[in-house]
Amino acid sequence: MVDLARGSHPTARLLDLVPGRSGKAYRDWLDERGDEFRKRVEIATLDLFQGYKNAIDDQHEDATCVLDAFHIVKLAGAAVNDVRRRIQQETLGHRGRKGDPLYGIRHVLRAGRQRLSPRQQTRLASALAAHPDHVAVEVAYHCAQDLRDVFHQPTPARGRQLAEQLIATLPSCPIPEIARLGKTLRRWRTAFLAYFDTDGASNGGTEAINGRVR
């Protein structure tokens, strides 16, 4: 459990270590803290685990639940990878291996498009053009990049606007993996959009502490 408060504590503080990853473990821990502690919690960030969301809704009635941007981008990247692997199987009949166009760009597909070098951009374009069916990977890639971009807009209002557009359109995408991503975002809509209303509240402090503890 991590306190992400800014104010007098500008960096995250470890509050406690609790065994088990479950909504019940989190709910019980919050219950032990008492009403006064729970009332002071204004923002709660989390990953895409419904158990935590249920515990927050139950124990923090007035807190704003925020879905962490890193985990949203990670989910989008996983969807692109799933599309890549499926198309790889459908076009070549085997798992990716050295020399296969899509396998060769698996790392490039995970990177932000603004960060790609000219050489990487050429490799990406060449691999996507290697087979007509690769268009599904191209579409999935751009959907994921559009999702990544919502967190890098000049104003929160613009980011929220783009996020709402994706929530509205991705669930109907003909690529099943992207449609599934869109439906997940739609289900988490309130927590996703809360990012833009909370000055970009992030779970980064928790992840940093997790890395040290491990």
> Is the torsion defined by CA of 136, 141, 142, 144 positive or negative?
positive
Mean predicted lDDT score pLDDT of the chain:
88
How many CA atoms within 13 Å lie on the side-chain side of 66? 22
Phi, psi of 43 (to 5 degrees): -135, 135
The whole-number pLDDT of residue 90 equals 96
Average pLDDT in the 50-76 region? Answer: 85
| Whether the predicted pLDDT of 6 surpasses 60 | no
Closest listed residue to residue 100, CA positions, set 142, 140, 137, 73 = 137
Residues 136 and 83: beta-carbon distance below 8 Å: yes
Q: Report the range out of 29-33, 86-90, 94-98 with the highest average pLDDT.
A: 86-90
Phi, psi of 8 (to 5 degrees): -75, -10
The share of the chain scoring above pLDDT 70, in percent, equals: 89
Treating both helix axes as pointing N-terminal to C-terminal, what angle do 135-149 and 176-187 enclose, rounded to 10 degrees?
20
The whole-number pLDDT of residue 204 equals 66
Average pLDDT in the 38-50 region? Answer: 82
| Whether the predicted pLDDT of 117 surpasses 80 | yes
Tokens standing for residue 103: 């396998």
70 pLDDT tier (thresholds 50, 70, 90): very high
| Whether the predicted pLDDT of 8 surpasses 90 | no
Pairing of strands 13-14, 2-3: antiparallel
Give the C-alpha separation, 57 to 96, whole Å.
Answer: 43
Give the C-alpha separation, 16 to 197, whole Å.
Answer: 28
Closest listed residue to residue 72, CA positions, set 205, 173, 202 = 202
* 46 membership: H or E segment, kind and range: strand 43-46
Average pLDDT in the 93-98 region? Answer: 90
Per-residue DSSP letter, 172? G
The share of the chain scoring above pLDDT 90, in percent, equals: 60
Per residue in 143-175, pLDDT (tens digit) is 999 999 999 999 999 999 999 999 999 999 999
pLDDT, greater one: 4 or 167: 167
40 pLDDT tier (thresholds 50, 70, 90): confident
| Whether the predicted pLDDT of 28 surpasses 60 | yes
Closest listed residue to residue 162, CA positions, set 148, 174, 176, 175 = 148
Average pLDDT in the 110-116 region? Answer: 95
Give the C-alpha separation, 182 to 43, whole Å.
Answer: 24
